[in-house]
């Protein structure tokens, strides 16, 4: 009889704990354990917030290489049927080898949930019957949960008085403004939803990209409900209104091409290669190259040749959904409809990672400084803008600007959008351990070292600039579209 040591990691999130009884079954290539109640001397505290607890699971014989685990929790009499956030489970074999199972999700019911061991597997590599079935069921559920649809898209706040002079504006607003970074947040949503619909947790591309989708769906949902809805702030205070903003976003998205999302191609097409002191270009190109090398090494570890790319049906469904729903099947955009080579896959995944982190940071953070002075980008105008040079006076400009209340409400919204989240995760940092193989973990460390070196170089350069360009410093770039 073998004794397997099971270590359960409860997430360090508010209310992540559970008082329910937790059960586990280990499933391997050569057999499985009985469903076992996880109980130790800690009692109910074993699954407290942030707790790490170990348990013993007995098996009559070796189960072989771990394929997956089955987890369920059952409510105790007189205790609430609560939700539990489990980060991961580690299984130590009698021989000493350790297998990891990433979970990172809430379990709120009493159903049996299956989670695959951490080794990344493409669809044609999954040979175990229960592992293959679990993969299929996971994707069926994801298709129901994540659906692609067309975007439908105190004090001074009540004042309707005009501004009396520019000094009044300066006194009230102290450098706090940004806008929704337009199409990049929406594109990130397309990439994220297609990933969640078409990739199981065990797929290498899921492991690579899921950290770069963190909070993207939540922040876009809030934008729809609080900004461009009938009662949203854009509807109330912006000159475009909510419906107008949807029209603007549609036009913006319709103008996007694959080349415009790949910074090397974009800079070349716009003839900006030789513009001096263009730090967006300089930092952006270096970041693209660092990300490209990282993505290339990760994907080439899993995809040894072009045939393996072509036969990965989950990968092809992912890009197919993006092309159909994100770019409305418009071949003129240049977006791939399928992947035929490893090189095509590497470039596209680099673009996705770059767009969801670097590009979003460059347009979102940069507006903070420029838009803080309201006359630079007023949220609305009460009069048409002038059409002739030299015909505008200060008094006319003040009459044209939004009134005090509209300005305050608009600026308050933008200030909230500009704030860095309290649990900010910089580019290249991965708090959740989705990869466990030695080579991918080594590549992640090298990626982080390259980003650190670039950050140091940018900081050194900025010391000699009157106006430092910090927006593409890796230390300041969010790992995902999280605001």
Q: Which domains does the chain have, with CATH numbers?
A: 2-118 (2.60.60.20), 155-476 (1.20.245.10)
**Cα–Cα distance, 411 to 173 (Å, whole number):** 8
Report the candidate in 347, 357, 335, 343 with the shortest Cα–Cα distance to residue 287.
357
Q: Give the pair of three-digit tokens for residue 446.
A: 């090298």
Q: What is the pTM of this model?
A: 0.85
Q: Side by side, which strands form the sheet with 2-10? A: 52-59, 2-10, 84-92, 98-107
Confidence of residue 21 (pLDDT cuts 50, 70, 90): very high
**Among the ranges 170-174, 175-179, 464-468, which has the highest mean pLDDT value?**
464-468
Task: For 213-229, write each residue's pLDDT tens digit.
Answer: 987 877 777 766 666 66
Which one is predicted more confidently, 475 or 365?
475
Q: Give the pair of three-digit tokens for residue 59.
A: 């098996």
Task: For 314-370, write each residue's pLDDT tens digit.
Answer: 999 999 999 998 888 999 999 999 999 999 999 999 999 999 999 988 887 766 677
pLDDT of residue 42: 84
Residue for token pair 């391997």: 28
**Number of neighbouring beta carbons within 10 Å of residue 13:** 13
pLDDT of residue 475: 95
Q: Based on C-alpha coordinates, what's the Rg of the chain?
A: 26
Least confident of 17-26, 94-103, 208-217, 290-299: 208-217
Q: Give the pair of three-digit tokens for residue 270.
A: 């716009």
* Residues facing 52 on adjacent strands: 9
* Residue 209 confidence (pLDDT) above 90: yes
Q: How far is CA 186 from CA 157, 315, 328, 427, in A?
A: 30, 21, 14, 19
Residue 112 in contact with residue 70, Cβ under 8 Å? yes
Quick check: helix, strand or coil at residue 135?
A: helix
* Residue 182 confidence (pLDDT) above 70: no
Report the candidate in 82, 6, 12 with the shortest Cα–Cα distance to residue 44.
82
Task: For 138-152, write each residue's pLDDT tens digit.
Answer: 999 998 888 765 443
Q: Give the pair of three-digit tokens for residue 250.
A: 């549609």
CA angle 308, 309, 310 (to 5 degrees): 95
pLDDT of residue 215: 78
Q: Give the pair of three-digit tokens for residue 320.
A: 């197919």
Report the candidate in 371, 334, 306, 38 with the shortest Cα–Cα distance to residue 173.
371
DSSP state of 386: P
Task: For 439-459, write each residue's pLDDT tens digit.
Answer: 999 999 999 999 999 999 999
């Amino acid at each position: 009889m073998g004794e397997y040591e099971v270590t359960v990691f409860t997430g360090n999130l508010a209310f992540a704990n559970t008082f329910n009884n937790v059960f586990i079954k280990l499933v391997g290539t050569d057999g499985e354990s009985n469903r076992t109640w996880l109980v130790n001397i800690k009692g109910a505290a074993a699954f407290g917030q942030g707790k790490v607890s170990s348990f013993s699971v007995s098996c009559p014989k070796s189960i072989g290489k771990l394929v997956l685990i089955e987890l369920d929790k059952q409510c105790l009499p007189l205790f609430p049927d609560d939700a539990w956030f489990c980060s991961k489970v580690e299984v130590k074999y009698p021989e000493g080898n350790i297998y990891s199972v990433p979970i990172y999700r809430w379990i709120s019911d009493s159903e049996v949930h299956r989670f695959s061991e951490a080794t990344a597997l493409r669809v044609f590599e999954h040979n175990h019957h229960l592992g293959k079935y679990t993969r299929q069921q996971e994707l069926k559920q994801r298709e129901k949960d994540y659906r692609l649809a067309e975007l439908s898209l105190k004090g001074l706040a009540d004042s309707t008085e005009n501004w009396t002079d520019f000094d009044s504006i300066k006194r009230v607003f102290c450098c706090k403004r940004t806008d929704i970074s337009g199409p990049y947040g929406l594109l990130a949503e397309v990439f994220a939803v297609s990933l969640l619909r078409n990739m199981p947790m065990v797929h290498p591309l899921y492991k690579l990209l899921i950290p770069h989708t963190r909070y993207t769906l939540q922040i876009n949902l809030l934008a729809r409900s609080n900004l461009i809805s009938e009662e949203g702030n854009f509807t109330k205070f912006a000159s475009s209104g909510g419906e107008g903003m949807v029209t603007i976003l549609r036009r913006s998205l319709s103008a996007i091409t694959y080349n415009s999302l790949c910074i090397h191609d974009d800079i070349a097409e716009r003839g900006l290669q030789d513009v001096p002191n263009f730090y967006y270009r300089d930092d952006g190109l270096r970041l693209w190259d660092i990300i490209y090398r990282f993505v290339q090494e990760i994907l080439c570890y899993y995809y040894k040749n072009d045939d393996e790319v072509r036969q990965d049906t989950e990968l092809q469904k992912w890009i197919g959904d993006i092309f159909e729903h994100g770019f409305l099947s418009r071949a003129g955009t240049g977006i791939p409809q399928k992947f035929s080579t490893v090189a095509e896959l590497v470039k596209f995944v680099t673009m996705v990672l770059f767009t969801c982190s670097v590009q979003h940071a460059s347009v979102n953070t940069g507006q903070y400084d420029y838009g803080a002075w309201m006359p630079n980008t007023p949220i609305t105008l009460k009069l048409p803008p002038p059409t002739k040079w030299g015909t505008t006076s200060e008094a006319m400009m003040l009459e044209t600007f939004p009134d005090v209340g509209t300005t305050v409400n608009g600026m308050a919204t933008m200030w909230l959008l500009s704030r860095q989240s309290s649990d900010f995760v910089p580019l290249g940092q991965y708090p959740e351990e989705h990869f466990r193989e030695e080579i991918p973990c080594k590549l992640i460390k090298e990626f982080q070292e390259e980003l650190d070196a670039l950050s140091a170089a940018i900081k050194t350069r900025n010391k000699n600039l009157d106006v430092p360009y910090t927006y593409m410093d890796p230390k300041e770039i969010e790992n995902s579209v999280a605001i």
